[in-house]
Structure formats: structure tokens, C-alpha cells
Amino acid sequence: MNDELVEQIKSNPKYQELVKKRTSFALKLGIFVLVMFYAYILTIAFEPNIMAIKTGEGVMTIAFPIAAAIILISFITTLIYVKRANGEFEDLTNAIREDVKDKL
């Protein structure tokens, strides 16, 4: 890839939009997931009695369903990102590719 092509792509407004949207969205989802994980760990560390509450008459505590929910939500956020990447972000990438098609 030559330097002229790289500069043309970097100066393309659609490329700037793609980078801005993708970075912003990834940061928001990443921060959301990290806050969930750290809140869970900090609750276990500083208020273990909350996580020791028994569910029903069994031996399982409330910590297990919360942990399972966190893992499930993490998968869902990944699916949300993949859906947007394959839709909006891919459309922007294809538009950028069309704009610089003559240089390829």
C-alpha cells in the first residue's frame, strides 16, 4: 500500500466517522462490562454477606446467578457489537473502499 493511498483514506470524512463511531461504541460497551465485573468482585471483597444470601431452601447463594447473568450480559454485548460491526461499520468501510477504488 502506498503512502498516497493511506493519506487519502485517512483524510476521507467517512473514515474519520468510522473511527470515531467504532471507538466510541467499543469504549462504551467495554466500560459497561468492566463496571459489571469490578462491581461484582468489589462486592465479594468488601460486602461478602450480600453474596452469601441463600436462594430458596437450597445451598446455592445469590452469587452464582449474578455471576451467570454477568457472563450472559457479556456475551450479549459482544453480539451487539458484532451486529453493529457487520451492519453500520461494514457499510462505512465499503463506502470508503468505493471512494478509493481507483487508487487500488
Q: Which H helix or E strand runs over 56?
A: none
- Please, what is the Cα angle at 62 between 33 and 52, to 5 degrees? 110
56-99 residue pLDDT tens:
888 899 999 999 999 999 999 999 999 999 999 999 999 999 98
pLDDT at 104: 66
Q: Are 6 and 96 in contact (CB under 8 A)?
A: no
Written as one letter, the residue type at 5 is L
Q: Within a 10 A sphere around the Cβ of 9, how many other Cβ atoms?
A: 16
10-62 residue pLDDT tens:
998 999 999 999 999 999 999 999 999 999 999 999 999 999 999 888 889 99
**CA 43 centroid distance within chain:** 23
- Position of cell 461478602? 48
Domain ranges of the chain: 25-103
Selected residue with higher pLDDT from 3 and 38: 38
